[in-house]
Chain A
Amino acid sequence: MPSALGPKASLYVTCVIDQLYPEVGVSVVRVLRHLGVTVDFPPDQTCCGQPLFNSGFAAQARQLARRVLLSFKDASYVVVPSGSCAAMMRVFYLDLFDNDPVMRQQANEFSSKVYEFSEFLVKVLNVTSVGAQSAGSATYHPSCHLLRELGVREEPQQLLANVDGLEMVDLPNKESCCGFGGTFSVKYPHISEDMVTDKVNSVLSTGADTLVSCDMSCLMNIGGSLSRQRKPVNVKHLAQMLDREAS
């Protein structure tokens, strides 16, 4: 049963992690529980609506946003292991309900409960070291929405710096976009490919054996390119680096 001591967090796992990288979700749950957080998973959750919103389908995005607001209406914290989904829910839901005062109010209240995973650890739990261990070297790619919509810059790097035994290598041009951009990657594949090539070259130039980020969609992009080129670089979500049970 939930402990009465720790905070309660509702996990919004994101559809990318749910459908493609479930092991990341498992690590998120383990890390949170290890830190004394009571985690629940509202089972009705699906997509936050971001792919629709970014493609201009605001009405459909609104439909999915309403579902999210309903599924998480009793949550005290909503923890999201993705900078871009968290940005959608915290920042862009407000835009989405610009002309609807009732929903806008709900979106506003919801917005203040949304935390990206690393942000939740550092800002809410006041944790910068989770006691994780690792070997080898890693480099960190700050994803665009995490950085520029949520302003989360230092938190993931603090957490990584405190992983025992892990050597962090700075990623050159780290703040440039990896070229994913949701539907942009298939609307303009030639531009997206060229952008990810630059990112892959930056990653390879560090010599690190692991690439870490807080967004699986960026990692799907960079990792997809690394894997096509048969480059032996591991691709990991921050939660996996902090999870003491993850192999």
Chain B
Amino acid sequence: MPQIKTQDFFDASALSIKDPELRQALQRVGTGFDNARREAIDEVSAEVWEQWRESARQIKEHTIDHLDYYLELLHDNVTKNGGQVHFARDAEQANAIVANLVKSKGVKIVTKGKSMVSEELSLNPVLEGLGTEVYETDLGEYIIQLANETPSHLVAPALHKTKAQVAQLFSDKLGVPYTDDIEEMARVAREALRGKFLAADMGISGANFLVAETGSLVIITNEGNGRLCTSAPRIHVGITGMEKVIPSLHDLAVFLRLLPRSATGQRLTSYMSMVSGPRRESDEDGPEEFHLVIVDNGRSKMLADPKLRESLYCIRCGACLNICPVYQKVGGHAYGWVYPGPIGAIVTPSLVGLKQAKDLPFASSLCGACREACPVKINIPRMLLHLRQELTESSEPAVNSTPALESILARCYTATMSHPTLLSMGTKLLKLLQIPVARNGRIQKAPFAPLSRWTRSRDLPAVPQRSFREIWRQELSGSNQSHQ
């Protein structure tokens, strides 16, 4: 698996927020993607959108509840179509399956369509270690492969880069004259990749959906690179998580409406490819072999936990990232692993370990915008709260990560709030303590944490002379007639 840096969220986010180029790049998130999504919803009307969301959620709920059945059905139908299904328990197994194929089939060149699961497995270094050339062919993935970076967004992996940074990268790595004309840069990439598509022995793709009743792998792209990866080389390997299965083509129709609109605001994706096995005898071309690698890698843990199960409904559209005020500020890399943003804060702890990712569930104001944007209505805030509870209350030292000071504060707070007399005494004490720092009803510099973290840039109201409960007792409790 790729290097886990989730434990550095605080420092990484503090650096990101100060990075002017990243800030500029991130402006596209809210004003670009999220506005486009809203317009696409307005176009179909909120009512229709709600119906689609509801049916998508029901499909996911049903499939995940009967995942064993649908995976078996999928397996049988892929096999019937002449493909081979491989189940991988973890990243190591999944990588070994692909590595064995590469070795046994004499693969020299691999072209890849965009696959977040392959990022999760860190597959490229494994294949490169075998002496294989691996080329990412999604433009965003191609950019970050050249830059030796990881994706920062589920849909737009190079989102963190400005146009000028990409132009410089192309000029440095591809030896072309500097240009920041987007069409020209796309032409340069196309030219560099076209030969690889033709020379590749193996194409690796992810999957947006797996259709159980037909044994099909479905990918949605805007560049057509996915179709070249799945059709030109002699071997096609699809790699995806076990939650991607849906029952039927009828179900697929709902998601084909939801996914492009949620991701980029498009009514339809530019390319929708369905792969149902290798070439048949009557086909003129197409891959000789089709392998489908279905990855668990921690997903069965989410399946087993009724409070986290719905995180498996995710279709990786990125809408929750685009609307998230935290993601909009810090970008994807600060989250420290493959899946960023609100959904990443839910999924990552299950995949890398809760304690390792302990900062992520707290990196949210719980505003709930993610749940509102989610096309399958995943209740992300509720799962964030659940993970916070696990971290705070677990009796397992391997999970519990509450700082001692915070526990003490929580206990003192609970005790004070459990006894109104203690609360009154506390208020009196605060009124004394604030004398040196309160001016004109406000405190500009609190002397100790955590309040000093507030007053770095915000004033704090001073505790007033009388609390409401005192005013009530003295003036309001007696009369209930109107004060007109």
A26 touches B423 (CB 8 A): no
Please report the C-alpha to C-alpha distance between residue A30 and residue B468 in the assembled complex, in whole angstroms. 13
B480 touches A177 (CB 8 A): no
Chain A residues with CB under 8 Å of B410's CB are: 52, 55, 57, 60
Q: Is the CB of A13 closer than 8 A to any CB of chain B?
A: yes
Q: A21-B461, A34-B484, A57-B392 are in contact. Are A188 and B369 (CB under 8 A)?
A: no
B416, B427, B459, B471: the one contacting A26 at CB < 8 Å is B471
Q: A18-B468, A20-B464 are in contact. Are A191 and B13 (CB under 8 A)?
A: yes
A56 touches B389 (CB 8 A): yes
Q: Is the CB of A170 closer than 8 A to any CB of chain B?
A: no
Chain A positions 28 through 48: 1 when the CB is less than 8 Å from some CB of chain B, otherwise 0: 011001101011010111110
Chain B residues with CB under 8 Å of A55's CB are: 388, 392, 406, 410
B residues 438-484 with Cβ under 8 Å of A?
442, 444, 449-451, 453-454, 456-461, 463-464, 466-473, 476-477, 480-484
Q: Whole-angstrom distance from the CB of B87 to the nearest CB of chain A?
A: 34
Q: A54-B388, A184-B366 are in contact. Are A63 and B414 (CB under 8 A)?
A: yes
Chain A residues with CB under 8 Å of B453's CB are: 185-186, 189
Q: A186-B453, A193-B456, A193-B457 are in contact. Are A176 and B325 (CB under 8 A)?
A: yes
Smallest CB gap from A222: residue in B: B458
B369, B473, B482: the one contacting A176 at CB < 8 Å is B369
Please report the C-alpha to C-alpha distance between residue A39 and residue B13 in the assembled complex, in whole angstroms. 47
Chain B residues with CB under 8 Å of A22's CB are: 464, 466-468, 470-471
Chain A residues with CB under 8 Å of B22's CB are: none
A189 touches B454 (CB 8 A): yes
A34 touches B483 (CB 8 A): yes
A47 touches B365 (CB 8 A): no
A43 touches B457 (CB 8 A): no
A side interface size, CB within 8 A: 78
Please report the C-alpha to C-alpha distance between residue A237 and residue B471 in the assembled complex, in whole angstroms. 18
Q: Is the CB of B382 closer than 8 A to any CB of chain A?
A: yes
Chain A positions 118 through 152: 1 when the CB is less than 8 Å from some CB of chain B, otherwise 0: 00000000000000000000000000110111000
Smallest CB gap from B365: residue in A: A181
Q: Is the CB of A192 closer than 8 A to any CB of chain B?
A: yes
Q: A29-B476, A190-B13, A224-B458 are in contact. Are A43 and B364 (CB under 8 A)?
A: no
A63 touches B391 (CB 8 A): no
Chain A residues with CB under 8 Å of B372's CB are: 148
B420 touches A25 (CB 8 A): no
B481 touches A3 (CB 8 A): yes
Q: Whole-angstrom distance from the CB of B109 to the nearest CB of chain A?
A: 43
Q: Whole-angstrom distance from the CB of B327 to the nearest CB of chain A?
A: 10
Please report the C-alpha to C-alpha distance between residue A183 and residue B388 in the assembled complex, in whole angstroms. 12
9 contacts between A and B (CB under 8 A): A33-B482, A44-B420, A56-B402, A92-B385, A95-B385, A148-B372, A190-B14, A193-B456, A198-B325
- Beyond A46-B417, A198-B325, 17 additional pairs, beta carbon < 8 A: A15-B417, A19-B427, A25-B472, A29-B472, A33-B482, A34-B482, A41-B469, A45-B420, A46-B420, A54-B366, A55-B410, A92-B385, A184-B366, A190-B14, A191-B326, A193-B458, A224-B459
